[in-house]
Amino acid sequence: MFMLIIPAIDIKDGKCVRLTRGDFSQKKIYLDNPNDMAIIWRKQNAKMLHIVDLDAALTGEMVNFEKIKEIVVNLDIPVQVGGGIRSVDAVKKYLDIGVARVVIGSAAVTNPLLVEELLKIYRPSQVVVGIDAEHGVPKIKGWLESSNLKDYELALQMKNMGIERVIYTDITRDGMMQGFGYESTKRFAEKAGMKITASGGVTNAQDMKKLNELKPFGVDSVVIGKALYECNFPCQELWYNFEEGMSLDHNFSTARKK
């Protein structure tokens, strides 16, 4: 059965990095230019990209906006962006450059009226909510603070406002390369009753098969980060070897998806 795989690009200090369980002290730099990483994923036939501005997640300022804009302009596939998006102006700025959908994280907890306001302006397909949970409790502001709601309670609140999709991350698994949180994701999906993009901990093809069992509960896509960067999927090494030195087809930079 088909499940959309969405490569993740996390940007910190302008570079493409991966964290372990969201810990900024456990940062590994993969490429100095995130746009180069985006090109690699596109060459490997990615149908969508997931980008997080880690600096913005901490400060609320769109620190890496120009880096993200470069990716969006150069690629012909949908890009979803999260990290520190806490105002209508920030959402507008991203959507105006061609971002397909924005991910509202901390603001869904601290300012739920923002979500309500956004859905009066934009389609539900353009605004999704990211719920990053640790043992069922949403974490916000770069995963440094806890919400007073359960993860599914937050999801139901957003659902009542008109949100149709949640990106759900089990923080305890994120970046650990030890498998995804099957039980936590299943529990959340059953209670939320929404379209769900899973995130955090998917490590190999066996995890993908297990994740596929959650499709009846609304899980139809997955964001994968470190496992892709570490080539945990067998065919990746072949792609790297055979595509070394290739550049994007010119049409990729001109056929923008609006």
Q: What is the pLDDT of residue 26?
A: 59
Distances (CA, A) of 192 to 5, 123, 157, 188: 21, 20, 10, 6
Strands (DSSP E) found in the chain: 4-12, 15-20, 23-31, 49-53, 79-82, 101-104, 127-134, 137-140, 145-146, 165-170, 195-199, 219-224
Q: What is the pLDDT of residue 116?
A: 96
DSSP SS3 for 98: coil
Cα distance between residue 6 and residue 3, in whole Å:
10
Q: What is the pLDDT of residue 20?
A: 58
Catalytic residue, candidates 13, 23, 36, 132: 132
- HSE, CB side, 13 Å, CA atoms: give it for residue 177: 11
Name the H helices within 102-161: 106-110, 112-121, 151-161
Is 132 marked active-site?
A: yes
All domains of the chain, ordered by start, with CATH? 4-246 (3.20.20.70)
Q: What is the pLDDT of residue 245?
A: 47
- Cα Rg of the chain, angstroms: 17
- pTM equals 0.85
Q: What is the pLDDT of residue 100?
A: 97
Cα distance between residue 167 and residue 229, in whole Å:
20
Is 220 marked active-site?
A: no
State the 10-residue block means of pLDDT for the chain, 258 residues long. 85 83 63 92 91 89 95 96 95 98 93 96 96 87 75 97 95 66 93 94 86 94 88 62 42 34
* Tokens standing for residue 36: 């180069």
Cα distance between residue 48 and residue 220, in whole Å:
13
